[in-house]
């Protein structure tokens, strides 16, 4: 098995486990998961990516995971728990790639990790694994907590499995191989009239910046961007050089609409799903 975690197997360094959940940081749920994991492997180290996924919003969790996991060192275990189907038939899974591991419910959270979804456009449903990836349905209760609730598999199944994995247990000891994971559909930008492209907002951050599904490489610097009744002419190279509502290339390489010093989300009353149309300047 080539998927050994370099860091996890060296207890002096400590395996790194990241978290993406919708649990918030006020309730004890995240702390409980970390306690469970430290009880398995006291040297683990945690990075909270986000606990503020909107409740039950698998799509947002999948986006945050897809845009962040590649920045972590090889062997990192990414634990994602946005799990409205907890206790039902949705499968608990472990996904092992060449550079990372993923643990959580197979409900679409992990369907966008193989490539940036704005490049490979996943469809909804089962998605076959690319070369170099393996998936396992978790079915080895000896690696779980002794009593399994029907309301908190993050604590009872996913946290202990992630901890064992980060501690060096092989993925194939933790579950049985399956050939696909569940994906949500990525909203592919569509042609709209003569040489225009219709996309949508896919994420709003704390600044009220509106991240769209339109790859910046499809947008000319002089493009016209229309959103929520407003028209923006040309891309701004930086936030600081914009005056008022602006379009620019964000740090993921996606088209973003922003109001530097303000909030585009508030100004436009826009958010995920808001349509965006990009067309040539003279369109």
Among the listed residues 4, 9, 139, 151, the single contact to a second copy using CB under 8 A: 151
Q: Is 267 a binder of a second copy (CB under 8 A)? A: no
Write out the binding residues for a second copy, residues 5-64 only, by CB under 8 A: 7, 11-14, 16, 18, 22-32, 34-36, 38-39, 42-43, 45-53, 55-56, 64
Please identify which residue in 248, 264, 265, 270 interacts with a second copy, judged by CB under 8 A: 248
Q: Which of 212, 250, 274, 279 binds a second copy (CB under 8 A)?
A: 250
Work out whether 238 is an interface residue with a second copy (CB under 8 A): yes
What residues contact residue 165 under an 8 Å CB cut-off, 6+ apart? Answer: 5, 8, 77, 94, 101, 103, 171, 174
Q: Is residue 233 within 8 Å of residue 240, measured between CB atoms?
A: no
Burial class, 186, CB count within 10 angstroms (exposed 0-12 / middle 13-18 / buried 19+):
buried
Applying CB under 8 A, among 5, 76, 212, 213 the residue interacting with a second copy is 76
Q: Which of 160, 150, 162, 146 is nearest to 76 (CA)?
A: 162
Select 3 or 36, whichever has its Cβ closest to a second copy.
36
Q: Is 119 helix (H, G, I), strand (E, B) or coil?
A: helix
Give the one residue of 4, 9, 88, 195 binding a second copy; rule: CB under 8 A: 88
Under 8 Å CB-to-CB from 104, ≥6 apart: which residues?
79, 80, 81, 82, 83, 92, 93, 110, 158
239 binds a second copy (CB under 8 A): yes
220 scored as a contact of a second copy (CB under 8 A): no
Q: How far is the CB of 265 from a second copy (least distance, A)?
A: 12
Tell the burial category of 202 from Cβ atoms under 10 Å away from its Cβ (0-12, 13-18, 19+): buried
Subset of 111-130 contacting a second copy (CB under 8 A): none
Binding test (CB under 8 A) with a second copy, winner from 102, 112, 152, 158: 152
- Does residue 85 belong to the site contacting a second copy (CB under 8 A)? yes
Compute the least distance from the CB of residue 268 to a second copy, in Å.
17
SS3 251: coil
Q: Closest distance between a second copy and the C-beta of residue 17, in Å?
A: 12
Of these, 119, 120, 173, 241, which contacts a second copy (CB under 8 A)?
241
**Rounded distance between C-alpha atoms, residue 98 and residue 136, angstroms:** 15
The closest of 179, 162, 143 to 102, measured between CA atoms, is: 162
């Amino acid at each position: 098995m080539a998927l050994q975690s370099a860091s996890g197997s060296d207890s002096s360094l400590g395996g790194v486990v990241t978290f993406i959940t919708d649990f918030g940081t006020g309730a004890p749920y995240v702390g409980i998961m970390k306690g469970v994991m430290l009880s398995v492997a006291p040297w683990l180290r945690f990075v909270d990516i986000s606990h503020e996924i909107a409740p039950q919003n698998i799509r947002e969790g999948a986006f945050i995971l897809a845009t962040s996991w590649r920045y972590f060192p090889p062997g990192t275990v990414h634990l994602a728990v946005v799990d409205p189907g907890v206790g039902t038939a949705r499968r608990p899974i472990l996904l092992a790639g060449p550079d990372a591991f993923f643990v959580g419910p197979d409900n679409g959270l992990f369907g966008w990790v193989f490539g940036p979804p704005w490049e490979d456009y996943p469809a909804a449903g089962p998605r076959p694994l690319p070369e170099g990836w393996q998936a396992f349905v978790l079915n080895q209760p000896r690696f779980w907590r002794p009593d399994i609730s029907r309301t908190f598999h993050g604590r009872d199944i996913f946290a202990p499995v992630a901890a064992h994995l980060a501690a060096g247990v092989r993925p194939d000891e933790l579950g049985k191989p399956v050939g696909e994971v569940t994906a949500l559909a990525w909203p592919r930008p569509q042609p709209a009239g003569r040489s225009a492209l219709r996309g949508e907002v896919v994420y709003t951050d704390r600044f009220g910046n509106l991240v769209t599904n339109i790859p910046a490489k499809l947008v000319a610097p002089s493009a016209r961007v229309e959103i929520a009744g407003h028209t923006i002419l040309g891309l701004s190279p930086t936030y600081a050089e914009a005056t008022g509502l602006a379009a620019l290339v964000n740090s993921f390489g996606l088209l973003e609409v922003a109001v530097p010093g303000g909030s585009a989300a508030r100004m436009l009353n826009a958010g995920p799903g808001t349509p965006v149309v990009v067309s040539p300047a003279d369109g």
